[in-house]
Amino acid sequence: MSLLQIRDLAIALPEGADRKYAAQNINFDLDKGEILCIVGESGSGKSMSANAVMGLLPQGVKPVDGTITFDGRPILGLSEKEMLKLRGSRISMIFQEPLSALNPLMRVGAQIAEVFEAHGALTGTERRKRALELLHEVGIPDPDAAIRAYPFQLSGGQRQRVMIAMALALEPDILIADEPTTALDVTTQAQILKLIEDLRQKRGMAVIFITHDFGVVADIADRVIVMQTGKIVESGTADEVLLRPQHPYTRALIDAIPRLTQRKEAEEQTRAPILTVEGLQKTFSTGSGKLFGKRRVVKAGQDVSFELFAGETIGIVGESGSGKSTVGRCLVRLLTPDGGRVMVDGADIAHMSGTELRERRRNLQMIFQDPYSSLNPRARVSRILTEGLIAYGTPKREAQEKARELLELVGLDASAMNRFPHEFSGGQRQRIGIARALALDPKIIIADEAVSALDVSIQAQVLDLLADLKTRLDLSMLFITHDLRVAARICDRIIVMQKGKIVEAGPAGKVLHNPDTEYTQSLLDAIPGQEYERALEGAS
């Protein structure tokens, strides 16, 4: 008998939700030592199904039908007290955003030791010793320091390792990993995936891995379940689902994966550059926490120089902390560079101020990463779109008319004008963000991780939209991303940044397939699902 059996599970949403069930007719088995990937987009019910196993559904959401059998025992409807015994000891869980998943005020060691305490295992000193061993096991550099650290002192990858250490503390039978690598860089993602794979082998632990990234699925899954709007539409072994998908939705998801090979050749650029960045410098310094202590200095931009030609898209790629966003923000003067020049139309905007800057700045507009926090939640779409125009002196009626055109341009209905951002999905919100950026007829768009927060299929749609708009409106674009596959899809040239410096720059094809530096190569190697991509290439 399987370790975990789910039969006819139905999870009801509270009244007034957009549909009745978060998930229904859920059936699957999980064997010891198996990695099962549940794939689907936001709202497909994949997280809800996994949370139901833990008995950790949000308020108002509850299982209404079916059974969950764990180790031969039905666990749906167990008392809270009985569930407490299972959670953390036999079934444990890790989450998407490791920074917010750890208590900011507690030391890492204490948070791990707490798992033993919750289940009455070991004594005080043993708990600490075991916590240290666990940190060793998950490969944290300098575990002796890490155990005394607070979460904010660790990097994203280290935090996720701490989460894994915590989840593994009592050697659970099942690890539920809810998008554990979505918030991480490719290189860190590759390390975490390898860690999970290793631990599975060493401990014979079963893993439910929730993701929307088929590249990750290809690298890690034994079996795959594909979910759409609360239902399982396809399931099978990894090879079956990935190479011979039956359901059109699965096929659509697989088609939507951005691939390195989809890049297009850069055209010869003979036109004059529209944007010239020369020797851009930006240094951040923060207090040391001591009265006369040395300040911490981060060089986020060191002598960054490049040219952007009219109609061209340049991708700036790099890991978090590489300075790519800082460069973008310096260009639109959300940050003031410490040195260097930013030439737009023959004028240096790096050191302009007042009216002059205002006039020039409308030529550069930014699209931000998070479509949830980058739109004012209290403002209707009409205000979001017309604010900039009105600020630059367009009469209100004209601005409204223009806003309607913009909505149509980005594929939204004009009725969106009177609605608030929260009434839209993530993809729709990002379209509003794009419309907002286009409102002032800019020449240059700077997109900072503009699709990173979106599901793959939505990501593909938004990338297509950007490419289309670029040609139609004759825009030039700087596309900042940590995802090389996304860069491959949309960029003509690619700039690779590391620790505030440009380490490599060139045509997309060259950088992605024949890079000059080891750093770029390491970024490329870390992309999940490469073998799978080659298999798909071979098949087609």
Query: Which residues are near other proteins by CB under 8 A?
Result: 54, 56, 80, 84-89, 92-93, 95, 97, 100-107, 114-115, 118-119, 150, 152-153, 163, 166-167, 286-287, 289-293
Nearest CB to other proteins, comparing residues 140 and 462: 140
Least separation in angstroms between residue 103's CB and other proteins is: 5
CA dist 220 and 213 (Å) reads: 11
Nearest CB to other proteins, comparing residues 64 and 106: 106
Which residues are CB-contacts of 252 (< 8 A; sequence separation ≥ 6)? Answer: 457
264: phi then psi, degrees, rounded to nearest 5: -110, 155
Nearest CB to other proteins, comparing residues 65 and 114: 114
DSSP string across 127-182 = HHHHHHHHHHHTT-SSHHHHTT--GGGS-HHHHHHHHHHHHHTT--SEEEEESTTT
Least separation in angstroms between residue 517's CB and other proteins is: 33
CA dist 236 and 205 (Å) reads: 20
* Sheet with strand 296-309: strands edge to edge: 296-309, 273-286, 339-344, 347-348
Position 446, amino acid: I
Nearest CB to other proteins, comparing residues 107 and 501: 107
Least separation in angstroms between residue 286's CB and other proteins is: 7
Least separation in angstroms between residue 105's CB and other proteins is: 5
Nearest CB to other proteins, comparing residues 120 and 346: 120
H or E element at residue 51? helix 46-54
Least separation in angstroms between residue 51's CB and other proteins is: 9
Buried b (16+ CB within 10 A) or exposed e, 110-127: bbbbbbbeebeebeeeeb
Least separation in angstroms between residue 64's CB and other proteins is: 21
Nearest CB to other proteins, comparing residues 36 and 86: 86
Nearest CB to other proteins, comparing residues 75 and 524: 75
Burial of 276: CB neighbours in 10 Å, binned 0-12, 13-18, 19+: middle
Least separation in angstroms between residue 387's CB and other proteins is: 29
Nearest CB to other proteins, comparing residues 28 and 95: 95
Position 353, amino acid: S
Look up residue 265 and give its DSSP letter. Answer: P
Nearest CB to other proteins, comparing residues 88 and 509: 88
Residue 470 vs residues 158, 464, 491: alpha-carbon distances, Å = 39, 10, 11
Please, are residues 199 and 205 in contact by the beta-carbon 8 Å criterion? Answer: yes
CA dist 55 and 504 (Å) reads: 49
